[in-house]
């Protein structure tokens, strides 16, 4: 399987996303041309470091590149002011210069944190994303959203800072648990639902073999997802319009994540899948799309063995009004009005404020009622 490239044409911030097998071991050859001196700083977390750091360092050393590493605790709490302070102070103590490159080796937490640290360290150094989760490969490593969580919520402090290169090594996906793989798949299937119905058709056929481990299918799914993300980011880098489409299912997801305390009761990608099913149900009830579309979405998620309905979330959930109120905290609120990503069909999402809260409440209430029957 050859390495494929998706180019993200953002003018003087353009970069390549390289997708294929064995990229960690080839990292030195991929990165060397970017470096004024053969030395990099690697930010990672302990679980990822145990699985992949030696391979990455050997890949760098093969091209004569030395490295220093800071490994932080795994988990969302690292994406915090404390984590940011540690990362930036460490980069400064390592005397990382303006022309040097920081490597983010990890999932979305490390990518967002290392990206933000790179955005502000010496007023901006370049960074390379080496995403190790499916979710990070298809979403968070591409597009330049970086940041941390605060007491007030997730991703509320950050910067747009595009990476200079993304290395998506398909082999690292082998080390994911089936649950983590499927959570990442929630973001993959989102692309089919929001903008490319033939990709959704393809996933219906190929999704199960991909989840079972077929690497050529995994590489193709990552390539198509990254290409779609690139197309949208290039149209609307700072989310003034179309980029919000990437948040299909996310308004519901963010409310459900808050309601479950950002715990492992619900992983982000699982919430995205449930949120997409809810968004299609609300779209159908609002007359935007046919009733067959939400049924088809749910059928595919269920075939993949994914969480699909509110009933699939373990433990207590608040009532529909409380969930609606949590949805009101969404970043897409403008002048107090919530905007939704709805769909006219599978592959045709659009942004609208014209959604009846009554319909949303009813869909949520029915989903919650199904938990007790
Ligand atoms: N994850 C959504 C975005 O990058 O815009």
Cβ–Cβ under 8 Å, residues 222 and 170: yes
Closest CA to 144 of 127, 131, 123, 160: 160
Instruction: Give the separation between CA 298 and CA 295, rounded to whole angstroms.
Output: 5
Check residue 279 and give its pLDDT: 98
Q: What is the CATH topology of the domain spanning 178-372?
A: Dehydroquinate synthase-like, alpha domain (1.20.1090)
Strand boundaries in 161-242, DSSP class E = 165-169
- Asked whether residue 332 carries a pLDDT value surpassing 70, the answer given is no
The pLDDT of residue 153 is above 90: no
Average pLDDT of span 298-311: 97
The model carries a pTM of 0.96
Measured from the Cα of 187, ligand 1's closest atom is 1
Ligand 1: residues within 6 Å at CB? 139, 143, 145, 243, 246
3-state SS assignment for residue 237? coil
| Ligand 1 site-directed mutation target among 133, 234, 247, most atoms within 8 Å of CB | 247
> Catalytic annotation on 247?
yes
| pLDDT higher than 90, residue 335 | no
Catalytic residue among 52, 145, 161, 298: 145
User: Does the pLDDT at position 337 exceed 90?
Assistant: no
263-277 pLDDT, tens digit per residue, is 899 999 999 999 999
Mutation choice for ligand 1 from 229, 251, 272, 349, CB with most ligand atoms inside 8 A: 229
Same fold, 4-174 and 178-372: no
Ligand 1 atom closest to Cα of residue 244:
5
β-pairing, 165-169 vs 126-131, is parallel
Residue 181 · residue 188 · CB < 8 Å: no
pLDDT at 331: 66
Task: Show the tokens assigned to 226.
Answer: 């990254």
Among the CATH numbers 3.40.50.1970, 3.40.640.10, 3.40.50.1820, 3.40.50.11540, which is that of 4-174? 3.40.50.1970
In whole angstroms, give the CA distance from residue 274 to residue 256: 9
SS3 328: coil
| Active-site residue, 362 included | no
104 and 127 Cβ atoms separated by less than 8 Å: yes
Residue 130 near residue 105 (C-beta atoms within 8 A)? yes
- Residue with the smallest CA separation from ligand 1 atom 3 is 246
Residue 159 three-state SS: strand
Report the DSSP pairing between strands 153-160 and 145-150. antiparallel
> Which one of the listed residues 18, 254, 307, 332 is annotated catalytic?
254
Hey, which residues does 105 pair with through a beta bridge?
A: 44, 130
Judge whether residue 223 has pLDDT over 70: yes
Active-site residue, from 86, 268, 298, 307: 268
Q: So what's the pLDDT on residue 371?
A: 80
Q: DSSP states of 270-287 as a string?
A: HHHHHHHHHHHHHHHHTT
Domain residue extents for the chain: 4-174, 178-372
Dihedral angle over CA of 39, 43, 47, 50, nearest 10? 10
124/145 Cα distance (integer angstroms): 14
Cα of 321 vs centre of ligand 1, distance in Å, is: 27
């Amino acid at each position: 399987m050859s390495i494929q490239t998706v180019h993200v044409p953002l003018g003087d911030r353009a970069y390549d996303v390289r997708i294929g097998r064995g990229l960690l071991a080839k990292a030195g050859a991929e990165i060397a041309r970017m470096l004024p001196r053969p030395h990099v700083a690697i930010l990672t977390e302990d679980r990822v470091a145990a699985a992949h750091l030696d391979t990455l360092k050997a890949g760098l050393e093969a091209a004569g590149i030395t490295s220093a590493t800071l490994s932080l605790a795994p988990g969302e709490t690292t994406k915090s002011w404390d984590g940011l302070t540690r990362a930036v102070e460490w980069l400064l103590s390592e005397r990382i210069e303006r022309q040097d490159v920081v490597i983010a080796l990890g999932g979305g937490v490390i990518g967002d944190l290392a990206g933000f640290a790179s955005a502000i360290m010496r007023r901006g150094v370049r960074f390379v994303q080496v995403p190790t989760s499916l979710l990070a490969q298809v979403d968070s490593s591409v597009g330049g959203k970086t940041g941390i969580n605060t007491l007030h919520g997730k991703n509320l402090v950050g910067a747009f800072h595009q990476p200079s290169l993304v290395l998506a090594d398909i082999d690292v996906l082998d080390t994911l648990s089936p649950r983590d793989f499927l959570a990442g798949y929630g973001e993959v299937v989102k692309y089919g639902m929001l903008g490319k119905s033939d990709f959704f058709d393809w996933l219906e056929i190929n999704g199960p073999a991909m989840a079972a481990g077929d690497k050529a299918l995994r590489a193709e799914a990552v390539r198509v997802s990254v290409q779609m993300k690139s197309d949208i980011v290039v149209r609307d880098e700072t989310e003034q319009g179309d980029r919000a489409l990437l948040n299909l299912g996310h308004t519901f997801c963010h409310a459900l994540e808050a309601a479950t305390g950002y715990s492992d009761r619900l992983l982000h990608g699982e919430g995205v899948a449930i949120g997409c099913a809810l968004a299609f149900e609300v779209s159908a009830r609002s007359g935007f799309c046919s009733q067959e579309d939400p049924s088809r979405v749910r059928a595919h998620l269920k075939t993949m063995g994914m969480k699909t309905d509110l009933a699939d979330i373990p433990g207590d959930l608040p009532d529909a009004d409380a969930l609606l109120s949590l949805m009101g905290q969404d970043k897409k609120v403008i002048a107090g009005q919530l905007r939704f990503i709805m769909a006219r069909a599978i592959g045709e999402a659009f942004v609208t404020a014209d959604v009846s809260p009554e319909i949303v409440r009813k869909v949520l209430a029915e989903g919650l009622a199904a938990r007790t029957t």
